[in-house]
Structure 1
Amino acid sequence: MQLALIGFLMLITIIFLLFKGKVTPMVVFITVPTIAAFLAGFNIEEVVSFIESGIGTVSNMAILFIFSVTFFGVLADTGMFDAVVNRLVKKSQDHIVLVAVVTAIVAVFSHLDGATVTTVLITVPALLPLYQKLNIRPQLLILITACGMGVMNLLPWGGPVARAAAVLGMEANDLWKLLIPIQILGVFMTIGLAVIMILREKKHYQAQNEVLVVNDSTEEQMETLENPLHRPKLIWFNFLLTLVVLLVLLWDKFPAYFVFMWGCALALMINYPNVKDQKERIKAHAAAALDVSAVMLAAGIMVGILGQSGMLEAMAIPLLKIIPPFLAKHLHLIMGVLGFPLGTMLGTDSYFYGLMPLAIEIGENYSISPLAMGTAMLITKNLSLLISPMVPATYLATALAGVELKEHIRYSFIPLWIVGILMLVFSLLIGLVA
């Protein structure tokens, strides 16, 4: 009973501190679980063994994050993403439905790197003038971006997948391969949502299907402004390199982090052969690469202490007594449906490292596999990424689009939740969360 009480107090403290935002997640995950373990009566040798076990489960994913973020960051520096976005924007200027479809494609493509801020900075500023010209509310732009981002964040270097894989004790790449059919469906659903919502905008707000007239001299002037980091002559090499990296990941003969090590090395050598330039590019993306990786390694301490100390088992016992049996056998589906609103209210770390392990432990007592529970909670949570007040990119998107946060939530909450539930239903039909 004492172990369960300390476990609950530990989770409540972690979630509270993360929710308040007074302490960084890395500090929370290092200090609170360690203190809880000692309060529970474990000695130094036992606590160290818990920590080593937990760190061991997340170390590969931390390395994956460092090199995948750097890889896609370098590709963004070369102008590869800008070239695609600019071409799509030009093609979509004369049709309102095409504008929405292009928004979905840009959101999906620009989130290949798994970085929320990058996706917002690529998508919103590039497409907002089109929306303003056609009298389309900017809330739709953020909604489509949020949907595309939520779907693409199912990639193995996306934060939620890596966190869920760490909790499940499996490789992020292995989890992603199971999620590929759901992700493909999600891409089409993002496009479908964009079309449905743009037609709704046209019907109710008389969004006019006008041709956006681009000033030729302005366009030519913009094209002449060259970014010294861009490598237009190497764009096809960079596309080919990205394709090869993705194919080798699917081939699954090498560890995912090793594939990105090679990809990162080749991207740097070919695009920036000067050693000084290579160092500058690494430094430019070091903060983003190390931030999540450091949090993940710190979270490994909590994962190890929860899993190895017996806290999870002790915490599950009182919860099992209050959950009605007829509901308990469907707990994974209930948590999947509630994953979207819970993900909106809870931060990513507290959701995956606090709530998910407890739900998995309870579900196992009702013959619900950890994979089924983890996947169900992951799918719908991902859709809440750019609607959650706990995510900094949400504020960036609303500020760039000139939209109040409450307006964005009111406009996007139900459509995104519906998409998440439909993806959950599909995962049930293919037997992934059965």
Structure 2
Amino acid sequence: MVIILLALLMIGLFIYLLAKNKLSILGALVLVPLLFGVIIVLITKANFADMFSWITDALFFEVNKKTGEISLGVISPGLLILFAVMYFDIMLNVGLFDPLCQFFIRKAKGDPLKVTMATVLTATVVTMNGDTTTTIIICTAAFLELYRSMKMKMIDLAILIVAPIGIFNQLPWGGPTISASAALGVPVNVLFKSLLPGMLAAEVFTIGLAYYFGLKERKRLCWCVEDSKNLDSQIIEKMLDSVRKKDPELKRPQYYWFNLILTLAILYLLIAGVAHGAILFMIGTAAALTVNYHKTSLITGRIEAIAGDALGPALASFGAAVFSGILTGSGMASGLASGITMLIPHSLGAHMAPLYALISAPAIVYLPQDAFYFGIAKVISKVMIGFGISPVQAAVASMIGQSFRLISPVIPALYMLTESTKLNFIEFQKNYVKYCWPIFFIYVIVYALVGLLPI
């Protein structure tokens, strides 16, 4: 009981300090769990060597003593983020994305609605590869400058990138679906077929949300349809100049095709899984700097200029190892799992599925994914089966909480997104919940209607 209380206090303090801007994201991720790790060491048989071992496992890798399976820590996505941010900063500087931004400006004709619709549809297509980090990298690089030049809200950009990821992470090759399938013994293809109606309904909502954001931005920026018809070519040129004339001394139009081919090659190799993303972007960064800037003094200057952009989200990613390492290694994660299991009384019987789905939402945000599926879902599914709920129905119920997974502080790529868009992490969380909470109920309603969630 003490461990559960400490886990809840740790999560609550983490949220409070970030919301009140009392600590930076790195400070909150490192210092808050460290404080509770020390408390656990003092009140249990664990020692400080154990505490640092928990953090080490979460940062680097952990070997399962029974199976010998290796679980990579946050250093893997953290290094990917570090070199990816550096690489795309260089590409933004040299002007690789200028034609894309100019294309959207011309097509949108200053219409925020067309931009928000393009954002959500692009994110939907890109996230089909099942990788959160890759989707955020590509979509941020493609749309960030456009949103800035049109003075559109960055929170809209962040939500419209993340919402489709939360939906399509449930594809058969996505991490949550694989974990749920393995933990509950439901074949991946069967689970995906069951999830598909809810995913499609949620995607329709997300497209509608993009439309709503576009209409809001039209109003805020005093834009109307007539403006598009009567738009002066000089206004479009002025908007285009905001892209063309940004840091002209850094642009390298003569190397445009080299930069494009290099970027496409890296993305292809990344999606194909030929090599780790950190290696690909490290090679790409070295090649891009060498070809575009030649002189050692210029290259050194560019590295120093972009280091700040890359270091912030990378450090936050590494800091997440302290949060997830202490939460898991100390037993707080398993304690929370047991506590959540006990919250569902057996007397509810066949009505356990929707209640379980409701409880799973916050659990899936703050617990490591495997801790949730193998610690909570596996236990509760056995109880549910005893009340006539099938393994597939139990698996579907366990996936409904995925509607909020993409605000989790243990997802490193989110720090890159919030740093790029200059958003406070808690501000992003609150706005995501504010606009995307209907996705949870869409899942509940759709799965109830098709008989996959007994009410």
Match of 2:58 in 1: 54
Q: 3-state DSSP class of the match of 2:249?
A: coil
Match of 2:88 in 1: 72
Q: 3-state DSSP class of the match of 2:3?
A: helix
CA distance 1:384–1:310, change in 2 (3 Å):
closer
CA distance 1:21–1:94, change in 2 (3 Å):
closer
Rounded Cα–Cα distance in structure 1 between residues aligned with 2:11 and 2:381: 24
The one-letter code of the counterpart of 1:47 is M
Rounded Cα–Cα distance in structure 1 between residues aligned with 2:201 and 2:294: 40
Match of 1:127 in 2: 150
Out of 260, 263, 270, the residue aligned to residue 242 of structure 1 is: 263
Which residues of structure 1 form unaligned runs of 5+? 129-137, 157-162, 169-177, 344-350, 399-404
CA distance 1:187–1:89, change in 2 (3 Å):
farther
Rounded Cα–Cα distance in structure 2 between residues aligned with 1:250 and 1:123: 25
Show the 5 A alignment for 1:193-204: 193-195=209-211
Shift of 1:150: 1.9
1:153-210 deviations in whole A, cap 9, x for unaligned?
6799xxxxxx999x99xxxxxxxxx9xx99999988766654577689999x993333
Shift of 1:384: 11
Rounded Cα–Cα distance in structure 1 between residues aligned with 2:302 and 2:367: 32
Shift of 1:76: 1.2
CA distance 1:198–1:148, change in 2 (3 Å):
closer
Contact 2:96 2:260 in 1 (8 A): yes
- Aligned alpha-carbon RMSD (Å): 5.3
Contact 2:313 2:419 in 1 (8 A): no
Contact 1:11 1:354 in 2 (8 A): no
Rounded Cα–Cα distance in structure 2 between residues aligned with 1:30 and 1:50: 11
The one-letter code of the counterpart of 2:233 is V
CA distance 1:289–1:380, change in 2 (3 Å):
same
Contact 1:58 1:297 in 2 (8 A): yes
Which residues of structure 2 form unaligned runs of 5+? 62-72, 127-133, 169-174, 181-191, 383-390
1:145 aligns with 2:161: no
Q: 3-state DSSP class of the match of 2:233?
A: coil
Rounded Cα–Cα distance in structure 2 between residues aligned with 1:155 and 1:100: 18
1:200-228 deviations in whole A, cap 9, x for unaligned?
9999x993333311228868977577611
Show the 5 A alignment for 1:260-409: 260-325=281-346, 326=350, 328-330=352-354, 333-334=357-358, 351-352=365-366, 361-367=375-381, 376-382=400-406
Shift of 1:278: 2.2
1:43 aligns with 2:47: yes
Aligned residues: 376
Show the 5 A alignment for 1:196-235: 207-210=224-227, 211=229, 212-215=231-234, 227-235=248-256
1:63 aligns with 2:79: yes
Rounded Cα–Cα distance in structure 2 between residues aligned with 1:93 and 1:38: 60
Rounded Cα–Cα distance in structure 2 between residues aligned with 1:319 and 1:224: 56
1:291-311 deviations in whole A, cap 9, x for unaligned?
232233232133223323333
Match of 1:254 in 2: 275
The one-letter code of the counterpart of 2:3 is L
The one-letter code of the counterpart of 1:322 is L
Rounded Cα–Cα distance in structure 2 between residues aligned with 1:282 and 1:371: 47
Q: 3-state DSSP class of the match of 2:109?
A: coil
Contact 1:100 1:195 in 2 (8 A): yes
Q: 3-state DSSP class of the match of 1:80?
A: coil
Contact 1:315 1:358 in 2 (8 A): no
CA distance 1:334–1:208, change in 2 (3 Å):
same
Shift of 1:89: 0.8
Rounded Cα–Cα distance in structure 1 between residues aligned with 2:40 and 2:7: 9
Rounded Cα–Cα distance in structure 1 between residues aligned with 2:88 and 2:240: 28
Contact 1:319 1:362 in 2 (8 A): yes
Shift of 1:229: 0.9
Shift of 1:65: 1.6
Contact 1:67 1:264 in 2 (8 A): yes
Task: State the percentage of identical aligned residues.
Answer: 21
